[in-house]
Copies of this chain bind each other. A is one copy, B any other.
Amino acid sequence: MDDGTQHAPLCTDSDGDYDVLQWDTREDCEVRQILDRVADKWSLLVIALLDRRSLRFTELRRKIDGISQRMLTVTLRQLERDGIVRRTVHPVVPPRVDYELTPLGATLHDTIRSLVTWTERHQNEIAAARAAYDTRVEAEKETADQEAAERDALAREVLAGRR
């Protein structure tokens, strides 16, 4: 329809109380909705797998461990509707359907890829951070329980003295 470079009716009004250069976070903003689709659990995997090649339905199903055929269908339909994936039906028996990225989808692939790469690259740091956090929380819980016990003991003493 158009070249997609114009900013169009972006939701960038109201909320002028803080920095206007802040991108929009309003609930009805379309960017939010698209972001949800694109950053979806299954969408990420599908897009990442369709890197410069086409795959059949069953191939995708096999490569993505744990996905149900229903979710794969739904995900592919959404991506097709958004113009990110192209669906090609070969009228043969048995039926054969190929999926591949559109040019638009290809531009998204790079971004998705960098997200995946980041995750792979930092998974050790994250695992370490989680372990450290859990340890810290556990330790705080310990001391909290101790102090509670001490307060309890003190309270009992006071009560005993009064009586």
Contact = CB atoms under 8 A, between A and B. Distances in A.
A163 interface: no
B130 A35 contact: no
Give how many copies assemble into the complex. 2
Interface stretch (A79-87, A89-97, A138-146, A147-155): A79-87
A66 to B, nearest CB: 4
Contacts of A125: 1, 4, 83, 104
Interface string A71-83: 0000000001111
Interface residues of A, number: 61
B10 A120 contact: yes
Contact of A126 (B34, B65, B112, B132): B34
A148 to B, nearest CB: 20
A68 to B, nearest CB: 12
Given A111-B118, A114-B114, A65 B4 contact: no
Interface in A26-71: 26-27, 30-32, 34-36, 38-41, 44-45, 48-49, 63-66
Interface of A: 1-2, 4-8, 10, 18, 22-23, 25-27, 30-32, 34-36, 38-41, 44-45, 48-49, 63-66, 80-84, 104, 107-108, 111-112, 114-116, 118-130, 132-134
14 contacts: A1-B125, A4-B125, A18-B63, A23-B48, A31-B120, A34-B126, A36-B41, A80-B133, A83-B128, A83-B130, A83-B133, A104-B126, A104-B129, A111-B114
The 3 closest A-B pairs by CB, nearest first: A83-B129, A27-B66, A39-B39
